[in-house]
Structure 1
Amino acid sequence: MLLSLKEDHKQHISVLIPQPTNVLQDFCKMALDFLRKGPTPKLYQTAAQKLDVQPEVIQNAVGGLVNLLVESCKHQLSDLDFRDSVLTLGFSEEQQETLEVFYKGKKQEISDALSQLTLDLPHYHDLEWRFEVQLASRALQHQVTPLITMNLTLETKTPLASGSSTRKNIVLQTDPTNLVHITQVLEAALLENRGQHSRRIQRSFK
């Protein structure tokens, strides 16, 4: 089968087509480094200066190459299918050979990195809560203590049984002030997830 990439990924990876094979080899190393440790802006800055382009162009090119390698491993492309897919992108036969050698040599490592990225962690299923107020005690007769009790249900898919899952209930109790703080932290995390850096990484693995 021939691999079909999205148009934006094709555009990002097209930057590598006019480059000599030694530069393409460097990008292969940066793509593998991306899978191992994530993006390295300083490295992209250095490469951008050498090629006289913006660092974002380098990072997009690395992301496009990562996507090519990831999708090839996901679909378990044979060496022949990978070579044909690369040629349809516009690479020369010499560049195709460089990419094929890299793909053959690092296929297992890329697959291992993918398996770590796709670990099925527990995720939200349901939440029940109730609001409680302790009006007084023998020691403090005029104190009002509001508490929120929550029953959080998490669900985890069972790897050995397709479609099966297990659920776990966790009982939590907090006061309104702490709950507001937790909410603010979660909202900040969601906001960061919508940022350019997070979207760029997500696009690389689609």
Structure 2
Amino acid sequence: MLLNLKKEQREHLQLLHQRSPDDIVELCKSAFEYLSYGPNIPRYQQLATKYVSNPEEVQHAIEALIALLIDATKANASEIDLKQLQQEEGYNDNIIEVLTQFVHSKHHFIEGSIKSANIRAYRLVNIEWRLEVRIATRSLLRQNSIRVTMKLFLHTEPKNENRDLLEVGEQQAIHPDERRNRKDLLVQTDLSSLVYIIQVLENALYESKSRRIRNIVSAIH
């Protein structure tokens, strides 16, 4: 079995050469912290000073370690498989020993994360909305109540043909298999809550474009 590491990732792992076992352990810990909390630039600057390198090279090496960890977990790599990496890249026994411990100790965590990422979650394929405003009632003449009602059309398979499902008339039956993959939600909220929802979604969208998320998604898929 060959670990499916990209050429660029193998080049970034060259930082491991000539490093002591303690340094490798330090890099592996930083890689796991990267997965849990995101990149720690000040920490990489400290390591760069120690390794006579630069922070970007340290971060690239840590990201390559993450790719190695995920790829080895997906392939259920054994110690023999990692020994093959030693032959290909010329790592000494100390480096392979630490990498083997790193892969095996984090195996269940990565495996669980991969399974969670592969859950067939519902995806938004269409939305209908309506704005409702109440300007007065018999008990309160100067009332101003604004509500936004939204109907969300969700589906587990984001294919182009799903749009046809949304255009099905009331008289036309939907196949049971298609109905199981489809879910419609009716949601009503006020303006302040709607603004908060939009902010949360925008933050999530911004985070999804970060290097950390792109590297994790690329390694998983």
With normalisation by structure 1, the TM-score equals: 0.71
* Counterpart residue type for residue 29 of structure 1: K
Extract unaligned runs of 5+ from structure 2: 158-178
Q: Tell me, in whole angstroms, the C-alpha distance in 1 between the residues paired with 2:19 and 2:73.
A: 24
Give the CA deviation at 1:197.
5.0
Deviation sequence 1:110-169 (CA, Å, 0-9, x none): 434544566665543542323344465434668775532112245569xxxxxx966554
User: Aligned residue for 1:10?
Assistant: 10
Change (3 A) 1:107 1:149: closer
2:45 counterpart of 1:45: yes
Question: Over residues 162-194 of structure 1, what are the superposed CA-to-partner deviations in whole Å (9 max), with x where a residue is unaligned?
Answer: xx9665543222355654554355334423432
Report the alpha carbon displacement of residue 62 of structure 1 after superposing the two structures with TM: 1.2
Q: Is the 8 A contact 1:122 1:154 kept in 2?
A: yes
Query: 1:32 aligns to what?
Result: 32
Identity %: 32
Structure 2 residue corresponding to 1:174, chosen from 171, 189, 198: 189
Residue of structure 1 in register with 2:170 after alignment: none
Structure 1 residue ranges without an equivalent (≥5): 158-163
When residues 107 and 181 of structure 1 are mapped into structure 2, their CA distance, relative to the original with a 3 A threshold, is: closer
* In 2, Cα distance between equivalents of 1:165 and 1:78: 40
Structure-2 change in CA distance of 1:42 and 1:113 (3 Å): farther
* Kept in 2: contact 1:64–1:204 (CA 8 A): no
How far has the Cα of 1:77 moved from its partner? 1.8
Matched with 1:66 is 66
Q: Is the 8 A contact 2:120 2:156 kept in 1?
A: yes
Aligned residues: 201
